[in-house]
Amino acid sequence: MATEVFAPAKVNLALHVTGQRADGYHLLDSLVVFADIADRVTVAASDRLTLEITGPEASSIAADDDNLVLQAARFFDPACTARITLEKNLPVASGIGGGSADAAATIKALARLYGAPLPQPYETASLGADVPACMMGRPLRLQGIGDVLSEIPALPALDILLVNSRVSLATPQVFAALASRRNSPLDRDLPQWDNPHDFCDWLAGTRNDLLEPAIELDPQIGIALELIRETDCLFAGMSGSGGTCFGLYPPNRGQAKAAQSYVQAKQSGWWCQSGKIS
């Protein structure tokens, strides 16, 4: 019997770069949520380890040994045997943690398939800095090099729009273009947010320190933000190192879906999806 697990998009609603270690790793303070816009990992028992990639973004990724899904399977068990199918719906190199989400979903699916315990999130960091957060899959504050994860106050319900111009950005390239690597962190104590407007008003006082260098490398990010801001969003920003941008909307009013139609009418070749955050 096959086991299926969703791999939701990870969205950095705020990302402050607060320093750099001697080994080159950057220190971050970030607020992360997950959207119900997702890849899908399906695993089934087999006598060998295989990976098939399907879905609208399948052509952008190879089923080779460097694929994080296969790396995650071998992390789960060096002798892992399973037939894995990755339905790739999220664009690659887009700042929404698709590969890390796929790795986390693979580990969860294999654990269910074989009745094995899940590793602790921190144990999966060798697969990538975002994998532990994706293992947890709920709103979090990420600090350090992404290895310090903490709970945050409950978020109000929100709808979200994700927009990507399909220009892939390499994270090291964006960090290399960053003017300042020692910036102020988020508030030490995060407030309680009573409603979507309160939360988005607070979010307007935060930053993504990688936004400016990302726009320098890909000006279409700025165009995407302008289009999102032309809709009825409460807040617009860029996730991670780019180039996926997002808009936040009141829940269950259809505004995010309407915004998706608006952006698609303006830029039919872009990737654009709406959903909810959690």
232 is catalytic: no
Q: DSSP state, 214? A: H
Q: Of 10, 108, 159, 209, which residue is the catalytic one?
A: 10
Q: DSSP state, 208? A: B
Q: Which residues pair with 140 in a beta bridge?
A: 32
Cα–Cα distance between 40 and 145 in angstroms, integer?
Answer: 27
Cα–Cα distance between 184 and 28 in angstroms, integer?
Answer: 10
- Residue 51: name the closest of 37, 39, 65 by CA: 65
Q: Of 29, 39, 102, 130, which residue is the catalytic one?
A: 130
Letter for the amino acid at 196?
P
- Residue 10: name the closest of 88, 72, 84, 90 by CA: 90
130 is catalytic: yes
Cα–Cα distance between 251 and 45 in angstroms, integer?
Answer: 39
**Positions marked catalytic:** 10, 130
